Structure 1
Amino acid sequence: MRYISTRGEAPALGFEDVLLTGLATDGGLYVPESLPHFSLEEIRSWRGLPYAELAYKVMYPFVEDAIPADDFRKMLDETYSVFSHQAVAPLVQLDTNEWVMELFRGPTLAFKDFALQLLGRLLDYVLEKRNQHVVIMGATSGDTGSAAIEGCRRCEHVDIFILHPHQRVSEVQRRQMTTVQGDNIHNIAVKGNFDDCQRMVKESFGNQSFLGGKTQLAAVNSINWARIMAQIVYYFQASLALGGPDRSMAFSVPTGNFGDIFAGYLAKKMGLPISQLVIATNRNDILHRFMSGNKYEQHQLEHTLSPSMDIMVSSNFERLLFDLHGRDGAAVKALLENAAKGPVSIEDYRWKHARKLFDSDAVDDKTTCDTIRDVYEQNEYLLDPHTAIGVRAARNCRRDSAVPMITLGTAHPAKFPDAIAESGLSVKPQLPAHMADLFEREERYTVLDNNVSEVQGFIAKHWKNA
């Protein structure tokens, strides 16, 4: 399988190179040249498979040119053995045909573990094979950072530099990143917002001269195709658990960077019957404004109770735009260049095509807290603020009550105690046993100005072979 850029000017690459490259040389994102497609009969035959074996069935076509089957199976067994629930991604019923899929049973209590536990193992495998060293540079709005550090901290061939917006992630999220000790682990708190961090990462990938030609950058953000690939699997898992593929499913996805919901879009293209995908956002609602009114326009970023979605530049949305424009890289490049200058729209027929599958909603902090309280009072089930946004959006946008609606539960509520308290509940979510001493652990991070040269200088000075 070959991978091509969404902007059409970078060379096609194989899986190994895409894994290590992250952003394409033309500034685009890599996508498969073609997708595998599974028949309903084949999908049906996967019922009852353990999660790791299902992951192998779904993902192996993407990596088979680079990794022998037995090696990939071993990676997947190791990846999902560290999750705290035997089902890996268990479903919890809230109401008739309404479900939450718990994607926070991994070591850092967020859905990012599904991809980043695997990504660390993939990097180790490929870098060992190539006898190569890389510098991981990533930006996080909260959860990616800790999942990336946990997934990659044992990798012998990487140094990790994670940028997070200073004082704009929850305390639990910050401590999960900054209390992991290791000579190859570096946390940078940038005096800005997530979009500033993400912009620095993209700019650094575009010009890596600050590394002096001694190493290269590798991506852990969802611009890395391997992240998207791993997230496709749990859509199949949820469907198979609830009667798929013989009935269609609907999913509501809390999303800021569009990666998690894009994985659902790919699952549908690969043959899984999905009738509706709901884009659930907070006040930073650029995706909702586009999907509801065909207007893509950046507003001022706002700080909310759901910080992992405090994003205004949704990187992975480019991958959907590429498909909506008939995979015309030049058209995507022109559109995004115009979007940097002001509001843009796409042709009406393209937008209407997207609306056949996608709906969207934007949920403010008060409604988020109301949803946390209502669901707890109805079911004694505690939602984190991101998942609460997903549940509210699902209820507001649901097209057909006969179709199972599954909200992706993206994080453990213990990561966001302020939102739980603001909802008016007296219950205090407890961290799992392996994190019980989190607030006693020593933190280590560096605060830097919102300046790409300063950040690049820090990385150039501190990676191990500098």
Structure 2
Amino acid sequence: MEKYYVSTRDKNRKISPKKAILEGISPEGGLYVWDDLDTISIDLEQICKQSYQENAFTILRPLLMDFSDEELKECIEKAYTNSFSSSDITPIRKVGDIYVLELFHGPTSAFKDVALTLLPQLMKTALKSEDAKAMILTATSGDTGKAALEGFKDVEDIGICVFYPDQKVSQIQYRQMATQKGNNVKVFAVEGNFDDAQSKVKELFMDLDLEKEASQKNILLTSANSINIGRLVPQIVYYFESYKYLVNHHVIQLGDKVSFSVPTGNFGDVLAGYYAYLMGLPVQRFYVASNANHVLTDFLQTGIYDRNREFIQTISPSMDILISSNLERLLYYMSGKDTDFVNACMSSLHQTGRYQIPQELLNKIQSLFGCAYLDDEQTKQGIREVYNKEGVVLDPHSAIGYMTAKQAEERPVVSLATASPYKFSQDVLEALGTSCQEELSAMHSLQKICTDPIPQGLAQLETLPILHKEVISISQMKDVVKQAMEDLL
């Protein structure tokens, strides 16, 4: 069995898992993948008998083959011990006839915590064999930034720069990032949208001048976005965990198929589900749930990916994305691991803003992936409907996933809830017929409606000082990264 990851754009680029985690993205812009992923067969019976931590080890062991058993177990233990408010890590709640997988019980109340409590441990372990430092560059549409900052704060020999679109995240998301403590963290608001910031970060990874300067300082440039396989693969675990729940609660029998509805913009969360499917999870269908920036819906219906459209700022900002980076990995596996094909698609996307896949490939993708999208008004209607019928409050992203799940023909359906409703209190209150001008006050108003308490990390935001106030242009990003590397030494 192959022990190396390869680039989606260059089969000759072979690299160990530790190196892939430290590099984040391949020098030519490709994403790291493992060719033998579809040869793994996870023992479902074993999964249903084990704890979350034991399942994380079982599932990640074949994917991170150059980590020793002791290293991997230690990373998992440090990541998931006393860092989540639920002992289940990712508990399930039945809401109507949909099973809602709650992924927001971590330190920053978003699904990114599941991976970003583990990635710093994996990266720190990988660094030990390199005798180098690492500088993480991460663009965020709202949630990744805070989860990465919290996971990497004060981690020895690692610095982190987070870039978020100015005025295009929720007030809670802004305060979470702007109040972040840590000697090694830098946070910048960027003029533009998420795609502008993400594209520039990818450009910086391929910038020869920056790479040379980093190399001279013995610093590795890497990412905490889901383009990094160390961020992506921990998310596979909760798909198997949801299957364990359904079996152990006699909803299904071992071997039965399950469908999933996943609110997503960058395609990373649903790709982790696809990875679980390749590793033996019995899946009937994945539903890709989008907001008004429905570039993924259009692609899955027509085979044409076209980002040449208006960017719409919505009440589900973590999905306000027009360039879905992880779709590249799906194209790689679905095309028979054809790097020339992936290269052609990505070149066309870069040059023209669009590409089209053959009908045969589209049919293959459509046999496993469905799709739907909701605009803001439909999202608010969904929040209101679920609360009125079930007494459960969903955040805008989770509501999009839930309403998409309701449209699905298959049952059972697991719908991924990706953030606490308290992170988007104003919009949730408005959907429920109440208005509040200030986000922190809105959290307290929402607490009177919501059965779950305000998460500790969000409750603390009222008293924390704003530490990061800088707003920069896209063109300034390289300069602030250079300065951050100096500060890391």
User: TM-score band (shorter)?
Assistant: over 0.9
Q: How does 1:195-214 map to 2 (within 5 A)?
A: 195-210=195-210, 212=213, 213-214=216-217
Matched to 1:14, the amino acid is: S
Aligned to 2:172: 172
RMSD: 1.6
Structure 1: tracts of 5 or more residues without a match = none
DSSP 3-state at the match of 2:37: coil
Q: Mean alpha-carbon deviation: is it higher for 298-307 or for 178-187?
A: 178-187
2:276 equivalent to 1:276 = no
Checking the alignment, whether the CA contact within 8 Å between 1:92 and 1:101 is kept in structure 2 is yes
Task: Work out which of the residue numbers 451, 459, 465 in structure 1 matches 2:474.
Answer: 451
User: Shift of the alpha carbon at 1:336?
Assistant: 1.9
Matched, 1:422 2:430: yes
Which is worse superposed, 212-221 or 281-290? 212-221
Structure 2 match to 1:158 = 158
Query: What is aligned with 2:387?
Result: 376
Q: Could you say which residue in structure 1 is the equivalent of 2:183?
A: 183
Matched, 1:115 2:107: no
TM-score, structure 1 normalization: 0.95
Alignment match, 1:346: 357
Q: Greater CA deviation, 426-435 or 170-179?
A: 426-435
Q: CA deviation at 1:16?
A: 1.0
Q: 1:222 aligns with which of 211, 226, 237?
A: 226
Shift of the 76–36 alpha-carbon distance from structure 1 to 2, 3 Å rule, reads: farther
Shift of 1:434: 4.0
Matched, 1:104 2:127: no
Q: How does 1:20-419 map to 2 (within 5 A)?
A: 20-35=22-37, 37-39=39-41, 42-65=43-66, 67-81=67-81, 82-96=83-97, 98-210=98-210, 212=213, 213-214=216-217, 215-243=219-247, 245-298=254-307, 299-340=309-350, 341-396=352-407, 398-400=408-410, 403-419=411-427
1:64, CA displacement in angstroms?
A: 2.5
Q: Which amino acid in the other structure matches residue 108 of structure 1?
A: T
Which moved further from structure 2: 210-219 or 359-368? Answer: 210-219
Aligned residues: 459
**Aligned-pair distance for 1:38?**
5.0
- Residue 39 of structure 1 deviates from its aligned partner by 4.5
CA contact (8 A) 1:448 1:455 kept: no
- Whether the aligned pair in 1 keeps the contact of 2:178 and 2:469 (CA below 8 Å) is no
By how many angstroms is 1:332 displaced? 1.0
Structure-2 separation of matches of 1:151 and 1:437: 17
* Displacement of 1:206: 0.5
Q: Give the whole-Å Cα distance in 1 for the aligned partners of 2:151 and 2:71.
A: 18
Query: In structure 2, do the counterparts of structure 1 residues 461 and 393 end up closer, same or farther at CA, with 3 Å as the change threshold?
Result: same
Give, in whole Å, the separation in 1 of the partners of 2:457 and 2:353. 47
Q: What's the CA shift string for 1:164-223, capped at 9, x where partnerless?
A: 000111111111122122221100100110001101100000115236232221110110
What is the deviation of 1:10? 5.4
Range moving further from structure 2, 431-440 or 139-148: 431-440
1:59-88 CA distances to partner (integer Å, 9 max, x unpaired)?
1111132x2112211211221121110111
Please list the CA deviations of residues 228-260 of structure 1 after superposition, one character each: whole Å capped at 9, or x if unmatched.
110111110101110264211100000000001
Aligned letter for 1:338? S
Which whole-Å CA distance do the structure 2 matches of 1:442 and 1:361 have between them?
Answer: 40
Shift of residue 301 of structure 1?
A: 1.3
Cα offset, 1:300, TM superposition: 2.0
Output the CA distance in 2 between the equivalents of 1:36 and 1:9: 17
* Structure-1 residue corresponding to 2:15: 13
Partner residue, 1:435: 458
Instruction: Please give the TM-score of this superposition, normalised by the length of structure 2.
Output: 0.91
Q: Deviations over 1:132-168 (max 9, x none)?
A: 1011110000000011011111311111100000011
Cα drift, residue 128 of structure 1: 3.1
C-alpha separation in 1, matches of 2:41 and 2:481: 47
Say which SS state the counterpart of residue 288 (structure 2) adopts. strand
The runs of at least 4 consecutive aligned structure 1 residues that moved more than 6 Å come to none
After superposition, the Cα gap between the structure-2 partners of 1:264 and 1:245, relative to the gap in structure 1 and judged at 3 Å, is farther
Query: Helix, strand or coil for the counterpart of 2:259?
Result: strand
Spell out, residue by residue over 1:252-296, the C-alpha distance to the aligned partner (whole angstroms, 9 max, x if none). Answer: 000000001001111111111000100000011111001012221
| Whole-Å separation in 1 of the counterparts to 2:210 and 2:304 | 37
Structure 2 CA distance, aligned partners of 1:245 and 1:226?
29
Does the C-alpha gap of structure 1 residues 130 and 39 become closer, same or farther in structure 2, counting only changes over 3 Å? closer
Alpha-carbon spacing, 1:39–1:224, altered in 2? closer, same or farther (3 Å) = closer
Distance 1:168 1:121 in 2: 30
